[in-house]
Amino acid sequence: MTEIPEHLLKRAQAAREKAASEGGAAASSSDGGDSRIPEHLLERSRAAKDKSAGGAVAVAEKAAAVVAAAPASGGVPVGAGPGGHTQRLLTVVKSGSIQDVKAIPVDKVHTWPHLLAVEFVAALACTAFLFFFSIFVNAPLLQLANPNQTPNPSKAPWYFLGLQELLTMFHPMVAGVTIPGIALFALILAPYIDRNPSNKPEDRKFATSLMTVHLMFWAVLVIIGSFFRGPGFNFVFPWRDGLFFEL
């Protein structure tokens, strides 16, 4: 067991002797007839000195206890902090949770695997359907192209007829670049303009209106190019001049 160092024991003994001598001097001065200090002041002074002497002894005893807790090799005392400091720990602060726990369920799922798994299965199903459909049904292809005879009217596939219809009305730069570019740019900006978090169609009037206008604009152009354009890509009435459109 580690012994208390001699200098700490001497310091504690000196503090006790000093306190005892001061207490005795105060008592002798209070007993003498020549002292003019009131009795209540002497009692207050004596109590203060006894209290200070007791505090010094307590400090010396605490220091002796800390030294006694040190290892025999003379290193840092047991329980000391960084650098050998022996300050007391005032309090322990309980850390909060790093995850925000919400009791209310939200209508959201993770993209993987919930969404992508369903989309992958749907893509496989569509591919299998087209594969077996192409085995039993021939594609509606026309005869081999004759470079000496150009069909009249010469129409693009139905999904490009809207663009071909625009080319009959505007300059190619406007019809092929400007108008489609503005439409695509408006669709890109739509989520940033309409920040409504609801997924109900009745609450998304702006997004619904924008998409409806876009689809109707393109659908009208496709219908005109398919059924109302005849030889020379001139405007005709299908119920009077016939239908110049093939799938």
| Cα 41 to Cα 15, 74, 213, distances in angstroms | 24, 48, 100
Whole-number Å distance between alpha carbons of 57 and 47: 15
Was domain 151-247 assigned CATH 1.10.287? yes
What pLDDT, on the 0 to 100 scale, is given for residue 122?
Answer: 96
Specify the pLDDT at position 62. Answer: 62
pLDDT on residue 68: 52
* Preceding peptide of 153 cis, ω within 30°: yes
* CA atoms within 13 A of residue 46's CA, in its CB half-sphere: 17
Tell me the average confidence (pLDDT) per consecutive run of 10 residues in the chain, 247 residues long.
73 84 62 61 81 63 55 52 58 59 68 89 96 86 81 87 91 92 89 85 87 91 91 90 79
CA angle, 235 as apex, 144 and 149 as ends, to 5°?
25
Q: Is 221 within 8 Å of 165 (Cβ atoms)? A: yes
**Where does 205-244 have alpha helices with state H?**
205-227, 238-241
Are the CB atoms for 22 and 52 separated by under 8 Å? no
pTM, two decimals, is 0.45
Return the pLDDT at 23: 65
Sign of CA dihedral 240, 242, 244, 247: positive
| pLDDT for 34 | 45
